[in-house]
Structure 1
Amino acid sequence: MFTTSKPLRFGDCDPSGIAYFPSYLDILVGVLEDFFTSLGFPWRAMNEVRRMSVPTVRLDLTFRSPGFQGDRLDFALAVRAIGRSSLDLEHTVSRGDTVLWTARHRIVATSLDTNTSLAWPDDIRAALTHHLETAHAHHPAT
């Protein structure tokens, strides 16, 4: 499982100081980018050298508790399934022991030249497979 922490900043919140949910998605994209960098595949190199991208094709979020300006968000990213070109991820975002939200997320490897899906290159597939977790994490009921 890949883990990282990100702050919930002033600009990520509505006037009441509660997280503005579209900001969560922007932060999540950064976490995904950090995950690929940790595997040795920074997005800039994937885009410019390999001419590939990893767009989101499905994202299902469940909000459990509000986040507030100044919170430290702990992200846990689990690789759940690897297809020919798809990658299924599960995210858990917490503040301490409190789960704020979870997400089921599918991305697909695509060619920047043809805008069509492509099979994961062998080296990226191997790195993703190393992180594959088959047992689903248990999340507290809402």
Structure 2
Amino acid sequence: MSYTHTWTVRFSDTDPFGIAHYPRMIDAIHEASDAFMEHVGYPYWELTEEHGLGLPLVSMDFDFTGQVRGGDRVEIELTPEVGDSSVRFEYVATHDGEVVFEGTEFRVCVPVDGDGGVPVPDDLRAALERTDE
């Protein structure tokens, strides 16, 4: 399954030259993963409150290859890859058909009251691996 989230670059996302700051791009990536988790039926807030689990970010790696400006609409495609106790989110962001940044986030499934990884529950795994959109 892949999921696409549209980020509209706002004036407040840009520097004095009108180009989006990279930290705002990272915020947009997190917004995309929030929307994705809600889309599959496991919003982060319910994951922690109702299932006692979290998917904290362990590492990320991104390459910024293009510039986006205020008013641009950026399509951020997220593709999950579920491991035993982890989830890798791969991102490709495009504007006007050109890749502007891409990369990965690596998240580990942990219990809210613990500090070590646990297997991704079967129901969460099934939601993340759904092939329909």
Normalising by structure 1, we get a TM-score of 0.85
* TM superposition shift of 1:94: 0.8
Aligned residue type for 1:56: L
Partner residue of 1:139? none
Q: Give the number of equivalent residue pairs.
A: 130
In 1: Cα distance, 2:115 partner to 2:99 partner: 36
In 1: Cα distance, 2:122 partner to 2:40 partner: 13
In 1: Cα distance, 2:55 partner to 2:16 partner: 33
SS in structure 2 of the partner of residue 18 of structure 1: coil
Q: Which has the higher contact order (CA 8 A, sep 6+)?
A: 2
Q: Does residue 82 of structure 2 align to residue 82 of structure 1?
A: yes
1:85-134: CA deviations, max 9, x gaps? 11122101111211100012211111121132221111011122224xxx
Partner residue of 2:27? 26
Q: Which runs of 5+ in 2 are unaligned?
A: none
Q: Percent identity?
A: 28
Aligned residue type for 1:41: Y
Partner residue of 1:43? 44
In 2: Cα distance, 1:15 partner to 1:105 partner: 29
Deviates more, 1:33-42 or 1:103-112: 103-112
Partner residue of 1:134? none
- RMSD of equivalent CA atoms: 1.2
* TM superposition shift of 1:37: 0.8
Normalising by structure 2, we get a TM-score of 0.91
Aligned residue type for 2:125: R
The 4+ residue runs of structure 1 with deviation greater than 4 A are none
Partner residue of 2:109? 109
